[in-house]
């Protein structure tokens, strides 16, 4: 993680993301941020989310919906996106690190991260 300048806005976005499990998009985060800082702009939210995801403080998720979603949990894990309701669910499994290690061994490359996205129906939509 690079050294990122802290600001009230940036700290709030981190707090919002680390306090939810719903993997929100920027508009949802913007609405939550406005509850604390009413004059925050959408541009500020987008810029800060970009910086925070670039430096590894948060994760940016492309789940194929057309808009990026964000995750405050940067520990190694995968995601499942529900094909019915769109919910994004964390999947904590040794599989992700095993897959990363296998890719390194077979390719001889240094793999920095592994991103796995499962698609299916969540328990509520089955």
Domains and CATH numbers, the chain: 8-71 (1.10.10.10), 78-120 (3.30.1490.190)
Instruction: Centre a 10 Å sphere on the Cβ of residue 57 and count the other Cβ atoms it contains.
Output: 20
Q: What is the pLDDT of residue 2?
A: 47
Q: What is the pLDDT of residue 104?
A: 95
Distance (Å, rounded) from C-alpha 29 to C-alpha 68?
A: 12
Q: What is the pLDDT of residue 1?
A: 44
Cβ atoms of 61 and 74 closer than 8 Å: no
pLDDT tens over the chain, length 126 residues: 444 556 899 999 999 999 999 999 999 999 999 999 999 999 999 999 999 999 999 999 998 888 999 999 999 899 999 999 999 999 998 888 889 999 999 999 999 888 899 999 999 999
């Amino acid at each position: 993680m690079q050294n990122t300048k802290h600001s009230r806005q940036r700290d709030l976005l981190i707090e919002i993301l680390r306090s939810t499990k719903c993997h929100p998009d920027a508009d949802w985060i913007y609405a939550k941020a406005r509850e604390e800082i009413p004059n925050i702009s959408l541009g500020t939210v987008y810029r800060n989310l970009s910086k925070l995801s670039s430096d590894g403080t948060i994760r940016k998720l492309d789940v194929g919906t057309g808009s990026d979603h964000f995750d405050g949990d940067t520990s190694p894990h995968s995601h499942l996106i529900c094909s019915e309701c769109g919910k994004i669910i964390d999947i904590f499994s040794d599989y992700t690190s095993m897959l990363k290690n296998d890719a390194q061994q077979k390719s001889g490359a240094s793999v920095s991260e592994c991103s796995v996205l499962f698609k299916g129906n969540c328990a509520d939509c089955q």
